[in-house]
Structure 1
Amino acid sequence: MKEKVILAYSGGLDTTAIIPWLKETYGYDVVCVCIDVGQESELEGLDERAKVCGAAKLYIEDVIDEFCDDYIVPCVQAHAVYENKYLLGTSMARPLIAKRLVEIARKEGATAICHGATGKGNDQVRFELGIKALAPDLKIIAPWRDDKWKLQSREDEIDFCRAHGIDLPFAADSSYSRDRNLWHISHEGLELEDPSNAPNYDHLLVLGTTPEKAPDEGEVVTMTFEKGVPKSVNGKEMKVSDIIRELNTLGGKHGIGIVDIVENRVVGMKSRGVYETPGGTILMEAHQQLEELILDRDTYTVKKDLGNKFADVVYEGKWFTPLREALEAFVKVTQEYVTGEVKFKLYKGNIIRMGTTSPYSMYSESIASFTTGELYNHKDAEGFINLFGLSLKVRAMKQGSYEKLDDK
């Protein structure tokens, strides 16, 4: 009886070519697994395609709600943004895909898992760290790093497929390298490989339009959160996945969430990409808008630092680690009172705040107002400043800095 390999299958040219390659090179029965995290039209025709290519079986697993509830929401609550720009669209999905691949490998009694990530990217790290953390006994096959893999171009892969009786409508001319899920779509390649080139947005954008082409009239949106979890948009309660879909539509319409980044990959190189994250950008901003009203200064300061660390951990594929669990536990505590309503206007790529309310707001108009009454005595500030600046004053006296100023 042949051993089984689980192939992370997208239906693209790479994973299509990998099916006959695995059978021919290693003698495996190939079980294809496509994890649906919101690729939409990319999933069409996969069943027939996998069968034509010689797969023994195909799983298409819908994990969209799990992706939203257990992976996206914690990252939003942590305000996990890699290098101040990247909202972790691909990074968040990879550990869930790895988890499901392992689960199906156990179900099928497979001895190996194969992925089509290249040896230059982050995804190889994310997939393999996830698999190693959950199933250290399973063999991992990465064809692009395998000496037996001789296919170095799309033309090579197309010729290989045809030689094995697979003649699918793949074009040899290259396009952008894209990754899509419910949260975002990324674009790499073509003119983006030269950082001196402007992106060809007319050719590139999928989820929305540029700010220049967005409507001339803004659109007001209200959202509610309960303990840091989004609950409604414009008065309509929805599950998180539907909220993201709604915000994607709104954000795409108004040119929200288009970023052009040169980022530092885990493997050491810099890469340039354009990311569309319309709904995610709105959701992140709305959550932060509410959080600013509720968290105390010390908690907010520490949370910003740990949010950056959370982003690094997720970006590097370290989801299934004690560190990620500990960071998420801290974040969860901070969300206990992040409940309320935010209002904002979407206008030509901008998210303009229009008011925030919460039963747990720490903002007190009677204290913050310039017409402060008995709740705040201006004279109290003098003693505070004397104590707060005492070390500065002592240091200056000891070092004679006041004399140096007089000399000048």
Structure 2
Amino acid sequence: MAKEKIVLAYSGGLDTSVILKWLKETYDAEIIAFTADIGQKEELDGLEEKAFATGASKVYIDDLREEFARDFIFPMFQAGALYEGQYLLGTSIARPLIAKRMVEIARAEGATAIAHGATGKGNDQVRFELTAASLAPDIKVIAPWRIEAFREQFPGRAEMIAYAEKHGIPVKATASKPYSMDRNLLHISFESGMLEDPWFDASAESNRDMYVLSVSPEEAPDEPEYVELEFEAGNCVAINGERMTPLQVMEKLNELGGKHGIGRVDMVENRFVGMKSRGVYETPGGTILFTAHRKMESLTMDREVMHLRDSLIPKYASLVYNGFWFAPERLAIQALVTESQKNVTGTVRLKLYKGNVIAAGLKSPVSLYNPDIATMEADPTQAYDQGDATGFIRLNALRLKVAAAAQAKSR
């Protein structure tokens, strides 16, 4: 009989390298290693050779960067998603894409299971498995960190390092590590280790070497730089007059934002599984795009449509953070978002300076701003009669007056 096949989300680090070998031994299965190229850059170097050397029967390293930008990052930014007022969801939005491709590979290879290296304390386990449940409920999910036998064998990193050395697994790791990192096209995150102390100052000059995508604001150029972003139906399609794909937009904005120290966030957030965690994020390009998109909406989006969409931002952001990207409620909100973006078209000019993204101009062929109506001078259009405000205020004040009178009677 043919061996069972398992598709493993493989990064090449210590955890997934050990898991690859452990799965092969424990399940007597063929392990298909899958790595999604979503912008990790040099972290992908040598991964194929490493996976084969560790025991993989087949290796996929798929370039998903354009799909990531076009079908995941851009729709999320159209929705204005921001988790707990700070987090631009860089790790969260990558997981459903990775899990989706794992399911596709499992189907193509006839695999009966997929596996991941997410721990039982984090959000990623939920994101991977909710995506799998949505797209392939018949495929089994193996989460070694939630299997007691695995945890007993590997209670800590020292045991994993020893196991790797014993089995000739080519990993670079030490028993101590100051923090963990996760990188993609949208951001890079840092957590655990020294960052578990919320009093630890991650912005201090002594920790400057931790950051990858951006210089510190103090080290940024002393002269501001202007940039123009062109939008069509809520998506950025050009920078400084040059048409670009979503991937090219993200790469260019990351370069500009990183140069000017933009997009660093240090926060304590609420994980879906119930605990608080401290994370430090670099999202240079995403911060510029988020700001520019909001500015474009301010000029072109109907007030009530904007307020309705804005009322859904906390829900939408939570759905992304918690792993419900393919859930019907997220898709329903996205349909409303897409409709709301039809007229979000025009150009935003921004000034980038020492960690700041500053508005420096807006224009649109479908602008809803009419200076003739908004002017404090005489209105040449006669579209607004200031006297009409008297009745408007009187009607809106009626219930307040009734309530005040009722309160006065009860005293």
- Quickly name the TM-score band, shorter chain normalised: over 0.9
Q: Which one-letter code corresponds to 1:187 in the other structure? A: F
Equivalent of residue 331 in structure 1, options 337, 346, 353: 337
Residue 220 of structure 1 aligns with which residue? 226
Matches within 5 A, 1:264-303: 264-303=270-309
Deviation at 1:372, TM superposition (A): 3.3
Residue 4 of structure 1 contacts residue 112 of structure 1 at CA under 8 Å; is this kept in 2?
A: yes
Deviation at 1:167, TM superposition (A): 4.3
RMSD: 1.3
Cα distance in 2 for residues equivalent to 1:32 and 1:157: 19
Pairs aligned (count): 403
Larger deviation, residues 32-41 vs 147-156: 147-156
Cα distance in 2 for residues equivalent to 1:88 and 1:372: 47
Q: Deviations over 1:119-142 (max 9, x none)?
A: 110000000101111111111111
Cα distance in 1 for residues equivalent to 2:407 and 2:44: 71
Gaps of 5+ in 1: none
Matches within 5 A, 1:34-45: 34-45=35-46
Deviation at 1:375, TM superposition (A): 2.5
Residue 239 of structure 2 aligns with which residue? 233
Deviation at 1:323, TM superposition (A): 0.3
Residue 187 of structure 2 aligns with which residue? 184
Residue 244 of structure 1 contacts residue 280 of structure 1 at CA under 8 Å; is this kept in 2?
A: yes
Residue 376 of structure 1 aligns with which residue? 384
Residue 46 of structure 1 aligns with which residue? 47
Residue 102 of structure 2 aligns with which residue? 101
Equivalent of residue 165 in structure 1, options 159, 162, 168: 168
Q: Which one-letter code corresponds to 1:157 in the other structure? A: M
Cα distance in 1 for residues equivalent to 2:92 and 2:236: 21
SS in 2 for 1:400: helix
TM-score w.r.t. the length of structure 1 is: 0.96
SS in 2 for 1:148: helix
Residue 193 of structure 1 aligns with which residue? 196
Deviation at 1:153, TM superposition (A): 2.1
Cα distance in 2 for residues equivalent to 1:173 and 1:23: 27
Equivalent of residue 394 in structure 1, options 394, 397, 402: 402
SS in 2 for 1:389: helix
Q: Deviations over 1:235-264 (max 9, x none)?
A: 111101111100001000111000001000
Gaps of 5+ in 2: none
Residue 184 of structure 1 contacts residue 278 of structure 1 at CA under 8 Å; is this kept in 2?
A: yes
Residue 155 of structure 1 aligns with which residue? 158
Q: Which one-letter code corresponds to 1:186 in the other structure? A: S
Asked whether 1:209 is paired with 2:215, we answer yes
SS in 2 for 1:105: helix
Larger deviation, residues 335-344 vs 365-374: 365-374
Residue 350 of structure 2 contacts residue 357 of structure 2 at CA under 8 Å; is this kept in 1?
A: yes
Residue 249 of structure 2 aligns with which residue? 243
SS in 2 for 1:187: strand
Cα distance in 1 for residues equivalent to 2:392 and 2:271: 46
Q: Percent identity?
A: 53
Q: Which one-letter code corresponds to 1:379 in the other structure? A: G
TM-score w.r.t. the length of structure 2 is: 0.96
Residue 112 of structure 1 contacts residue 139 of structure 1 at CA under 8 Å; is this kept in 2?
A: yes
Cα distance in 2 for residues equivalent to 1:242 and 1:175: 33
Cα distance in 1 for residues equivalent to 2:251 and 2:180: 23
Residue 18 of structure 1 aligns with which residue? 19
Larger deviation, residues 158-167 vs 108-117: 158-167
Cα distance in 1 for residues equivalent to 2:336 and 2:278: 32
